[in-house]
Amino acid sequence: MAFHLHIENFRCLRKVDLDLGGVCVLIGPNGSGKSTFVRALQFMSDVLSPGPVEAFENAGGGGMLQNFSSDERILLRASQDDVMWEVLPRPKGIGVQLPMEERFSIGGKTVIEQLSNSATFRFGEKAFASDVRLSLYQAAVAVFGKGEDEPISLLPSPFFVTRLQSQSYFEPDILAIRQSGSPVGRDTRLNSHGKNVFTVLRNWKAGNRIHEERFSFVREGLRRAFPDLFDALDFESAGQIVTARFYMPGNGSPIPFHLAPTGLIAGLLHLTAVASTGTASTVMIDEFENSLHPHAIRVLIDYIRERAAKMDLTVLLASHSPVVLDQFRDCPAQAIVMDPSNQPTPLDKLEDPNWLAQFSLGDLYAHENIGAAKSAP
Partner 1 sequence: MKRVQLIVTGEMEKAALHSSLGRLFPDAEFLAPSFNNSFTSSRLTAASPQPPRHGIPTKPNVNKLARELIADVEPGSSRAGQLDLVLVVEDLELCNHDQPGTVTERFRRAVREELDARNFNGGSRRKVEEKLRTRCSFHLFSPMTDAYFFGEDAALARAKAKRPNRFQAEVTDIELFQVADPDYQSVADGLRPWARASRERHPKHYLGFLCTPSDDLLSERNDVQHYRETKQGKAALEVLDWRAVLARPRQAQFARAMIDDIAAALAHENPFPGQCAPETKRRDNGLLRNL
How many degrees, rounded to 5, is the angle at CA 166 between CA 66 and CA 137? 75
Identity of the residue, 187 or 326, whose beta carbon is nearer to partner 1 in the bound complex: 326
Q: Which stretch binds partner 1 (CB under 8 A): 70-78, 118-126, 271-279, 358-366?
A: 358-366
Q: Which long-range contacts (CB under 8 A, 24 or more apart) does 227-234 make?
A: 229/261, 229/264, 230/264, 233/201, 233/257
The pair phi, psi for residue 45, each rounded to 5°, is -60, -45
377 binds partner 1 (CB under 8 A): yes
Q: Which helix (H) or strand (E) holds 122?
A: strand 120-123
DSSP result, 126-188: EEEE--TTS-HHHHHHHHHHTT-SS-GGGSPPTHHHHHT--EEE-S--HHHHHHH-EE-S---
Q: Is the dihedral of CA 133, 135, 141, 147 positive or negative?
A: positive
Q: Which stretch binds partner 1 (CB under 8 A): 68-76, 234-242, 260-268, 357-365?
A: 357-365
Identity of the residue, 133 or 367, whose beta carbon is nearer to partner 1 in the bound complex: 367
Identity of the residue, 1 or 94, whose beta carbon is nearer to partner 1 in the bound complex: 1
251 binds partner 1 (CB under 8 A): no
- Considering only CA atoms, which of 100, 91, 161, 95 is closest in space to residue 133? 100
Q: Which stretch binds partner 1 (CB under 8 A): 133-141, 147-155, 244-252, 355-363?
A: 355-363
357 binds partner 1 (CB under 8 A): yes
Q: Total residues contacting partner 1 (rule CB under 8 A)? A: 27
Q: Which stretch binds partner 1 (CB under 8 A): 88-96, 138-146, 203-211, 350-358?
A: 350-358
How many degrees, rounded to 5, is the angle at CA 160 between CA 156 and CA 164? 170
Identity of the residue, 131 or 302, whose beta carbon is nearer to partner 1 in the bound complex: 302
150 binds partner 1 (CB under 8 A): no
Give me Rg for the CA atoms of the chain: 22
Which one of residues 10, 326, 335, 347 is an interface residue with partner 1 (CB under 8 A)?
Answer: 326
Residue 371 carries which side chain, given as an amino acid letter?
Answer: G
1 binds partner 1 (CB under 8 A): yes
Within 8 A by CB and 6+ apart from 246, the residues are 230, 231, 232, 233, 254, 255, 257, 260, 264
363 binds partner 1 (CB under 8 A): yes
User: Least CB distance from residue 359 to partner 1, whole Å?
Assistant: 6
227 binds partner 1 (CB under 8 A): no
Residue 93 carries which side chain, given as an amino acid letter?
Answer: G
User: Could you tell me the maximum CA-CA distance found in the chain, to the nearest angstrom?
Assistant: 68
368 binds partner 1 (CB under 8 A): yes
For residues 19 and 3, the answer to whether their CB atoms sit within 8 Å is yes
Q: Which stretch binds partner 1 (CB under 8 A): 3-11, 67-75, 119-127, 364-372?
A: 364-372
Residues 8-67 touching partner 1, rule: CB under 8 A, are: 22
Strands 22-27 and 314-318: parallel
Q: Which helix (H) or strand (E) holds 113?
A: strand 109-114
Find the length of the chain: 377
Identity of the residue, 1 or 64, whose beta carbon is nearer to partner 1 in the bound complex: 1
Q: State whether residue 235 is helix, strand or coil.
A: strand
213 binds partner 1 (CB under 8 A): no
Identity of the residue, 197 or 364, whose beta carbon is nearer to partner 1 in the bound complex: 364
Residues 286-325 touching partner 1, rule: CB under 8 A, are: 302, 306, 308-310, 312
User: Least CB distance from residue 332 to partner 1, whole Å?
Assistant: 11
Identity of the residue, 207 or 340, whose beta carbon is nearer to partner 1 in the bound complex: 340
- Name the site residues for partner 1 (rule: CB under 8 A): 1, 22, 302, 306, 308-310, 312, 326, 329-330, 353-355, 357-360, 363-364, 367-370, 372, 376-377
